[in-house]
Chain A
């Protein structure tokens, strides 16, 4: 709070010429709106163009200067994209992998967070410190040994290989621990008096009452697994085992793909994430800023 005392809120009486009113009128309300409007258009334009371009005919999108609005809506880009790469299969791969990782991380994080909050343990702070320490290790820096381990187990190019390293998470444990700690002690004692053991208390009372935190974690984990790039790129070899993200990249690299085809692929890949962003925004805010606001 030292910043407050350093800069008092009182307007400086020595320099009246720098009264905020002047600056404000100089910038002007219209100016604020103009800057924001330009910013929104800049940010939203790529999103608009993805959807517009996905419905354009190849000659339209390749016209110079490029068209901004599709003249005739066509669906052929979508069928083209589906035929250029095994897009349906890759879509399924991504859904499967992201769902498995999400479910597993919820499960392991719930158990670990429960142990940290509700169970007695020697060396609790040391173990918890270790969980936090896993968050600091950049995944890219240990990707080579992980690749060697999983290929050594014969799990290269398999679903196991895609999923196994991500079945637990220090972040998930940390987030759920924060949430569990706020659980009212009276409720917990009441459950115990009613004869609920740890296992029943955990799944029947604690988990249902922490749905918002679990939903936030689930959305966060699903989005980040769905969006993974480096690991699926190296651990998969065949198009049939690749995830959608790698498919998109190979769609761009393939000679026959024109922009419309690529954009159609992107539109399809966006459907689940766009739904999560639009309908789960408050959960996303909670998940993403869990480390930011103390």
Chain B
């Protein structure tokens, strides 16, 4: 009974609605400070010139963007980014698909194989890149060591602009293979057993089974994997910073790396240009995620 001796509990008066907001508050504060506000400030910075120390000086509107569009360097950066996505996503997804399909064929030791493929998981971008830098070492690296066995000359894996981007892509594919295999294995696991069994009873096996049943039924997983790999490739930074620092001759300077160079590298604080590039990056990534959400929504509707 709410008498004077027992004042109403503050939480009760506050109500469950208040409690809900109290529970959301910590997350909302973090998002507001470190995601939403920075979003706005990125746009603000991209529309302002800045002094040598990066402080915004005067409003310049779209100037940074038009400068970027007319810059040959930036076009090269975009092409490099696209190539890096192509070099990592296509082989990474197809390779994982092949492995997963092969493991489906009633193979012994599937558990062992899955664990082996999951090993690169334990590697961070930095540790994997540092290891590959040892492999790619022109003088003492394992790769040139193996090449010399078959009589081929040393290759400048990271110092030759012809090979540098591909070398970084190879290390990235290795890093992500475990994840790709895992996603596709989970996808195969979610195919109803009856479907596969019915197909097998009808005499389908091997390539036929893969082509007509497994791969089409893997569609959603494959699609998810392509999108997530693309987004990851677009955001790749550590491997480039460790292996080539964007070189040689800018041949591995992707969009993210370009943002870093303009904003932070070698004492540079050109936050205006860097922010304009960051906006371009954001738009590209958002387009990829939007495609994913759009397609997944449709799939949910008729599934």
A259/B137 in contact, CB under 8 A: yes
Q: Which residues of B91-110 are within 8 A (CB) of A?
A: 95, 98-99, 102-103, 105, 107
Tell me what chain B mostly uses at the interface: helix, strand, loop, or mixed. helix
Which B4-54 residues have a C-beta within 8 angstroms of A? 16-17, 19-21, 23-24, 26-27, 29-31, 33-39, 41-42, 45, 54
Contacts A40-B117, A138-B285, A144-B278; A11 near B24 (Cβ below 8 A):
no
A288 to B218, CA, bound (A): 17
Number of interface residues of A (CB under 8 A): 106
How many chain B residues touch A (CB < 8 A): the figure is 117
A27 close to chain B: CB less than 8 A? yes
A27 to B256, CA, bound (A): 43
Binds B, one of A72-80, A108-116, A185-193, A209-217: A108-116
B114-167, CB < 8 A from A:
115-135, 137, 139-142, 145-146, 148-149
Among residues of A, the one whose C-beta sits closest to the C-beta of B43 is A145
Taking a contact as CB atoms under 8 Å apart, the answer to whether B206 and A27 are in contact is yes
User: Are A7 and B216 interface neighbours, CB within 8 A?
Assistant: yes
Chain B CB within 8 A of A251 CB: yes
A49:B142 contact, CB within 8 angstroms = yes
Bound: A289/B128 CA distance, A? 22
| A246 and B126 within 8 A (CB) | yes
Give chain A residues whose Cβ lies under 8 Å from the Cβ of B198.
9
Would A11 and B195 count as touching, CB distance under 8 A?
no
Using A144-B274, A263-B134 as known contacts, say yes or no to A120 and B122 having CB atoms under 8 A apart: no
By a beta-carbon cutoff of 8 Å, the part of chain B in contact with chain A is 16-17, 19-21, 23-24, 26-27, 29-31, 33-39, 41-42, 45, 54, 95, 98-99, 102-103, 105, 107, 113, 115-135, 137, 139-142, 145-146, 148-149, 174, 177-179, 182-183, 186-187, 190, 195, 198-199, 202-209, 212-213, 216-217, 219-221, 224-225, 228, 231, 234-235, 237-238, 241-242, 256, 259-260, 263-264, 271, 274-275, 278-279, 281-282, 285-286, 289, 296, 300, 302-303
